[in-house]
Amino acid sequence: MSALEHYAALGFTVRNYGDDEYGYAQRDEVYVHLSRFDELDPATNTSAAYFYVADADALYAAWTASGAGGRFHAPSDTPYGLREGAHVDPDGNLLRFGSWLPRD
């Protein structure tokens, strides 16, 4: 499954359940379950996953240096106190990530 290869490049530990239709990717205590869905239309996919991380800039740097495909959006500060970035994988799945900004 190409999705497993993609998430492995992003630093996840991956496991295929033998049928090339289902697997998961694990990073720290986060598990992303992946399954083949041929009818997925990335242009209309509205699902997303959100990762709270210690350092959004460090994750962005690691992921963009990984050589993994997809689109990467650099973190920026939000008015609600998070520094957020995003990654859209080659299958059109949106992974958003953020870390809390220091409080005054």
Render 28-75 in DSSP notation, one character per residue. Answer: TTEEEEEE--TT--TTT---EEEEE-S-HHHHHHHHHHTT--SEEEEE
Per-residue pLDDT, 19: 74
Range 17-35 average pLDDT: 85
Residue with the two structure tokens 């598990």: 31
- pTM (2 d.p.): 0.81
| CA pair distance 32, 47, nearest whole angstrom | 13
Q: Which domains does the chain have, with CATH numbers?
A: 2-35+47-100 (3.10.180.10)
Better-scored residue on pLDDT, 96 or 44:
96
Range 55-64 average pLDDT: 97
Which of 31-35, 85-89, 92-96 has the highest mean predicted lDDT (pLDDT)?
A: 85-89
Range 72-101 average pLDDT: 93
